[in-house]
């Protein structure tokens, strides 16, 4: 293969890597294949999607901290708690959809989203069914099953393990 073609192909692979059109390890493999193991100068990192996952992680971690503080350390009215639950739920769902569409699959935003979903769903169950602990167990069990499903689908051992341990702790809590 002549040098001009090789340069065009490697530049295209670098573009795919920079814009996350392919997973990074695939691009690294292809670059090593076409450069025959040689090192190529990396393209300068411009304004791309690199900073967005960090920003989403920061926002979701802040929402997680804020939700724990608001729900467990303050006395808010039922209307205000419901409004916060809806806002945090929509924010979490929007962030998760955005991450899946843009392939920003980082563990911290997904973990923060899952914990926010757990906190808001447990808080909603406590508000809607104040004296029914069975509904709280059902909500917690559904969250654990969701974690197992997400861990299986996205091949994340931490989510599968968290879901399984959560179900075991839930069963121990119910029967003991």
Q: What are the pLDDT digits (tens) for 59-81?
A: 877 887 888 888 778 888 878 87
pTM here is 0.59
70 and 105 fall within a common domain: yes
Please state, in angstroms and rounded to a whole number, the distance separating the CA atoms of residues 116 and 135: 18
136 and 105 fall within a common domain: no
Range of the domain at 82: 53-128
Which long-range CB contacts under 8 A does 66-69 form with residues at least 24 apart? 67/116, 67/119, 67/120, 68/119
The share of the chain scoring above pLDDT 90, in percent, equals 19
118 and 148 fall within a common domain: no
Top mean pLDDT of 38-47, 95-104, 120-129 is at: 120-129
88 and 138 fall within a common domain: no
Domain count, the chain: 3
121 and 82 fall within a common domain: yes
98 and 136 fall within a common domain: no
């Amino acid at each position: 293969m002549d040098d001009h073609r090789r340069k065009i192909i490697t530049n295209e692979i670098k573009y795919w890597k920079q814009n996350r059109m392919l997973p990074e390890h695939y691009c690294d493999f292809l670059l090593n294949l076409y450069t025959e193991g040689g090192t190529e100068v990396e393209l300068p990192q411009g304004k791309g999607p690199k900073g967005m996952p960090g920003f989403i992680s920061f926002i979701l971690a802040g929402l997680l901290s804020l939700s724990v503080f608001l729900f467990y350390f303050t006395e808010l009215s039922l209307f205000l708690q419901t409004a916060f639950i809806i806002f945090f739920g929509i924010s979490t769902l929007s962030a998760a959809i955005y991450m899946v569409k843009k392939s920003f699959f980082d563990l911290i935003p997904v973990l923060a989203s899952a914990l926010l979903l757990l906190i808001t769903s447990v808080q909603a169950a406590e508000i809607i069914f104040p004296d029914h602990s069975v509904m709280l167990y059902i909500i917690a069990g559904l969250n654990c099953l969701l974690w197992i499903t997400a861990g299986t689908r996205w091949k994340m051992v931490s989510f599968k393990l968290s879901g399984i341990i959560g179900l075991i702790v839930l069963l121990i809590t119910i029967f003991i």
